[in-house]
Structures are given as structure tokens and as C-alpha cells.
Amino acid sequence: MNGCMTFRKSDKKTSRHFEKKEIDINIIHKTFNGNTVRYIETGQVDDPNSPIILFVHGAPGSSEVYFDYLSDTLLLNKAKLVSIDRLGYGYSKYGKATTSIEEQAALVDFVVSQYEFSKLIVVGHSYGGPISGKYTIDNPDRVDALVMVAPVNDPDSEKVFWFAYFGHWKLTRWTISKALRVATDEKFSHIEAIRKLEPDWSKIQTPVIHFHGTKDGIASFENVAFSQKHIPDSLLEVVEIAKGGHMIVWDDLELIRDRLLEELE
């Protein structure tokens, strides 16, 4: 069971996945702070100045979360699409938790620094939301738009579910995969980490599009009120998805995709 719960695809399987779709892909491994990290790119890979849409996944997960976006014909024709394995996941320091939002955002900065581009849109799902937000807040001159999909930004509405304790207790921790252990470590540090980020949201200078389902049982809909309270009205666009859950990143892909295309234009 643990072998099926790694939430990642090897380079070989990733290449095969995109070959079947006849999509060119670059799988990139770099050294970041002494660790090997991986990110994947499709789309306008041969254009050094194309717009970039950069995707940051939640917990657990990996670059694989966004393969449907990296395969979307409309996006492929408009931008370079880059999906990161966050620290602790995929093939970036797998199995070793990095609970600091600042350090996770530093990896985003490292990946972005590998490129030249005409426009940069950063997309973050779930815990990828505050990580993308931290990077955007610190780099207002680089990011043209921040797209948060079901983000967990509000420390007062953050939930810790009973089953998370199986990855927290030493007696049961060994029974789950390394990816789930990392997700557990992040979960138990979420509240402190996102509370530390809370005062910085008012400093953001970049347009923000916040997608959220009204029936999200993981990232409470109260996160919308948090955005409305802390992000300047002139920069915030909220897209409420009626009866949408936490998986709107997949369930409402076309809606999110179309909004990304608008932002590219």
C-alpha cells in the first residue's frame, strides 16, 4: 500500500505519460541547498521569452498533480508550463519534511530564476497557496498574477483531522508512506506557519485570483473571508464554485484553465 501512496511518477513513467499524448517535455533535476530537486516543463519550451505558468502543489502531492494542465492544448500553445516537486515530495528531497513556508518559497524562487520570461503567473493549490503567496509577496516585480485554488491561508479555520495523528504518533507513523509522513509534518506545523505569514498579505502588490468551492471540507470556505480581509480589494478577484470541494483543481480544470488564458492575454 505504501508503494502506491508515494504521489509521484518516476522520470521514465512521466516521459511515457507525455509521449502517449505526443507532447514534448523536459524533466529537470537541479541542486538546491545541497539537495536534488525536480521540476517539469511543457509548452513553449524552446521560446526563452514565452510567458510562464508555474504550478505549486499541496500536501501530499508532486508535479504530477498538474499533468492535465501541462497537457492542455490551449495552454501548451500559449505559455511555458512548469510544475515543481515541492521539498519533501516527488523527487525533491523526498521523504524529508521542510515545514517552513519561507524555504518552500525559496525553491519557487530558485526555479523561477532559471528562466527569462515575458510574464509569470503562479498557481498554488491547497498548501501550495500560501507558499505561492509568500513568493509573490516577496517578488512583486516578477509575478504578474497569483492564482490560488482552494488555499489554506486562514490559521483560525485550519483543520487537523483525526486520521492525521496516525502519521504523527511514533507508534503508527511507520505504517504510512514517506509522502504522507511529510504531509503530516506539514499539517501539524500549518497553523504556526500560516499565522506567521498572515500580516504579510496586506503588502501584496500583485493581482490575486482566488478560486474556492463552497463545500470544501479540507480548506474551509472561511479562507475566502480571510482573503477579502487581508488582500486589498483592488487586487483581489474571488471565484466561488457552488458546491465545489477541495479537488476543484481537477474537477473545474476548464474554468481555471480559461481564467489562466484570460490572464495570459
Helix ranges, 95-127 (H): 101-112
**Sign of the CA dihedral with 40 first, then 43, 44, and 50 last:** negative
What pLDDT score does 186 carry?
Answer: 85
As a whole number of angstroms, the distance between CA 184 and CA 193 comes to: 14
- In this prediction, residues 53-61 reach a mean pLDDT of 96
- In this prediction, residues 39-48 reach a mean pLDDT of 94
- In this prediction, residues 41-54 reach a mean pLDDT of 94
Other Cβ atoms less than 10 A from the Cβ of 137: the count is: 20
- In this prediction, residues 36-63 reach a mean pLDDT of 95
Please determine, for residue 170, whether its predicted confidence score (pLDDT) is greater than 60: no
Spatial contact of 221 and 213, defined as CB atoms under 8 Å apart: yes
Split at pLDDT 50, 70, 90, the class of 162 is very low
Please determine, for residue 63, whether its predicted confidence score (pLDDT) is greater than 50: yes
Please determine, for residue 15, whether its predicted confidence score (pLDDT) is greater than 90: yes
* CA–CA distances in Å: residue 38 to residues 59, 84, 103: 16, 7, 16
Spatial contact of 133 and 197, defined as CB atoms under 8 Å apart: yes
- Backbone φ, ψ for residue 116 (5° rounding): -110, 150
Q: Which residue has the cell 507532447?
A: 23
105-160 pLDDT, tens digit each: 999 999 999 999 999 999 999 999 999 999 999 999 999 999 999 999 999 987 65
| pTM for this predicted structure | 0.93
Split at pLDDT 50, 70, 90, the class of 94 is very high
Residue, of 264 and 185, whose pLDDT is higher: 264
Residue, of 162 and 111, whose pLDDT is higher: 111
As a whole number of angstroms, the distance between CA 133 and CA 222 comes to: 17
Q: Which residue has the cell 509521449?
A: 19
Report which of 24, 29, 71, 72 is spatially closest to residue 46, judged by C-alpha positions: 24
Three cell numbers written together for 46 = 524552446
As a whole number of angstroms, the distance between CA 140 and CA 232 comes to: 14
Q: Where are the domains of the chain?
A: 2-264
As a whole number of angstroms, the distance between CA 151 and CA 126 comes to: 4
As a whole number of angstroms, the distance between CA 35 and CA 24 comes to: 26
What pLDDT score does 4 carry?
Answer: 54
186-226 pLDDT, tens digit each: 887 888 999 999 999 999 999 999 999 999 999 999 999 99
What pLDDT score does 223 carry?
Answer: 97
What architecture (CATH level 2) is domain 2-264?
3-Layer(aba) Sandwich (3.40)
Grouping H, G, I as helix, E, B as strand and the rest as coil, residue 145 is strand
- In this prediction, residues 42-55 reach a mean pLDDT of 94
